[in-house]
Amino acid sequence: MSVTIKDLKVINTAPEGINLTVVKLITSEPGLYGYGDATFAYRYKAVTSYLLDYLKPLLIGRDVADIQELWSLMHQNAYWRDGGVENNAIAGVDLALWDIKGKMASMPVYQLLGGAVRKGVPVYRHVDGASVEEICEQISYYRELGVRHLRVQSGGYGGGLDLKAPGSAPEGAYPGIYLNSREYIRKTVKLFEELRAKLGFEIDLVHDVHERISPAEALELARALEPYRLFFLEDPLPVNQVEYFAQLRMLTSTPLAEGELFNNEAMFRTLIVRRLIDFIRVHITQLGGITPAKKLAIFAEQFGVRTAWHGPGDMSPVGHAANIHLDLSSVNFGVQEWSGIEPPNFVIQKLNEKKGALLEVFPGMPEFRRGYVYANDKPGLGIEVNEQEALKYPNHDEVTTWTQTRGQDGALVLP
């Protein structure tokens, strides 16, 4: 007798102050359920509605064994496809189905994906500071923990303007995060020059442009950073300007990573086939879950392109665990972004209590030890959710402000 989907629940919680959305699929088999990540932190109510009003009626009574069938059904059922709301909702169900599959097989998910090709997953952590000295202090801390890859920013993503300074922005300019791309490029190049002078080349450094500069400026930055041997330069171009990667590839040796905002595998196809990038920076729930992500990883492998799955704070531990299971089973793994679940974040010590709360809500998180993350080898994704603890941390509805970024003239730019 087949095991079917009996119910679908949505758990919204924010133990770190970041909205998280988790799907719980309950099956017809008593005690058998699965968890999946459907987090879209800035539109969580839309994802919740999509799951409960549209996917739940579609899925009740369906066989949990049919992961590919159900993914395709969810993907095409609305006729118009892709986008942050739909794909994250689908991903929540998809991850829960893989979690259930692993529990039914008494195996961790990475075994179902072909088995482990490595024992631990090397990760990179984030450092950010107002000075080289502050950044070096953080780097020293992480090196003591065994981390060998670090993403380095200074003041977040790009420059910053004092709106009160004369001539800094037009009169009456709207509030927001104001950027000066020319100043950002100058300061970034100088930062990496000073870091390499102090640290040498024993540690791999990453930098995230976050799509905030023009294609010509991206080329200028990538070339200027060549002497400092970055592990990769992330998202130098926005989604609608990816044709410029052909010029970037021809004119710079800096390794390139792209794709945090991509919604489907097709958006990567040309970049991978033409070998215009070195790493795919996929947010796997934005792509639709493990099912499409594993296919994309195998496709990229054929062209020498490596994975570097997105692993930010606005992803639940269920999503982080899914990343690790993909990492363990992918031949073309590159590095894994790790947002600081363990140990506590060095920069913002006030978050320590919240990190503890996150682990109370989501027991079973893969563990960080000496620069590597290890799966716990429990069946499925290995994560549980303490639903009573989750209720203590309700989601919030404030208007998102960090995406209200503007250029020096006050016009909106991509965040």
Select the more confidently predicted residue: 399 or 345: 399
Give the start-to-end residue ranges of the domains of the chain.
5-107, 111-380
Amino acid at 314: D
Confidence category of residue 173, pLDDT binned at 50, 70, 90: confident
Pick from 271, 323, 291, 319: nearest CA to 75 = 291
Whether the CB-CB separation of 236 and 210 falls below 8 Å is answered with no
What does the pLDDT read at residue 157? 76
Q: Cα(178)–Cα(108) distance, rounded to whole angstroms?
A: 46
φ, ψ (nearest 5 deg) of residue 286: -65, -25
With bands split at pLDDT 50, 70 and 90, how would you rate the model's confidence at 165?
Answer: low
Q: Residue 331 above 80 pLDDT? A: yes
Q: Does domain 5-107 have CATH number 3.30.390.10?
A: yes
pLDDT at 347 over 50: no
Q: State whether residue 112 is helix, strand or coil.
A: helix
Distant-in-sequence, close-in-space partners of 115: CB < 8 Å, separation ≥ 6: 329
What is the Cα–Cα distance from 96 to 101, expressed in whole angstroms? 9
**CB 219, CB 252: distance < 8 Å:** yes
CA nearest to 99, candidates 389, 364, 298: 364
Contact 13, 361 (CB under 8 A): yes
pTM: 0.94
Contacts for 108 with CB less than 8 Å, ≥ 6 apart? 102, 325, 375, 377, 378, 379, 380, 381, 382
Which CATH code is given to the segment(s) 111-380?
Answer: 3.20.20.120
Please state at what angle helix 84-105 crosses helix 290-301, rounded to 10 degrees. Answer: 90
Please name the amino acid found at residue 308. Answer: A
Tokens found for residue 79: 């006729």
Residue range 274-303: mean pLDDT, rounded = 98
Burial class (CB in 10 A: 0-12, 13-18, 19+), 312: middle
Query: pLDDT band for position 85 (50/70/90)?
Result: very high
CA distances for 141 relative to 146, 167, 276, 289, angstroms: 9, 40, 34, 34
The predicted model gives 89-109 an average pLDDT of 98
Where does residue 27 fall: left (phi above 0), alpha (psi -120 to 50 degrees), or beta otherwise?
beta
Per-residue pLDDT band for 346 (boundaries 50, 70, 90) equals: very low
Helix (H) or strand (E) holding 234, with range, is strand 232-234
Give the span between the Cα atoms of 276 and 39, in whole angstroms: 30
Give the separation between CA 352 and CA 357, rounded to whole angstroms: 9
Number of Cβ within a 10 Å radius of residue 351: 17
3-state secondary structure of 224: helix
| Dist CA 272 CA 242 (whole Å) | 12
pLDDT of residue 174: 87
The yes-or-no verdict on residue 282 having pLDDT over 60 is yes
SS3 state at 138: helix
Question: In the structure, how many helices (H) and strands (E) does the chain have?
Answer: 15, 15
DSSP 8-state code for residue 3: -
The pLDDT tens digits for 202-251 are 999 999 999 989 999 999 999 999 999 999 999 999 989 999 999 999 99
Q: Which strand (E) or helix (H) includes residue 369?
A: strand 367-369
Indicate the range of 73-77, 135-139, 160-164 predicted with least confidence. 160-164
User: Which residues is 305 bridged to in the sheet?
Assistant: none
Do 307 and 326 meet the contact criterion of CB atoms below 8 Å apart? yes
Hey, which residues are catalytic here? 157, 210
Element (H, E) at 208: strand 204-208
Q: Quick one: CA torsion of 49, 53, 58, 63, rounded to 10 degrees?
A: 60
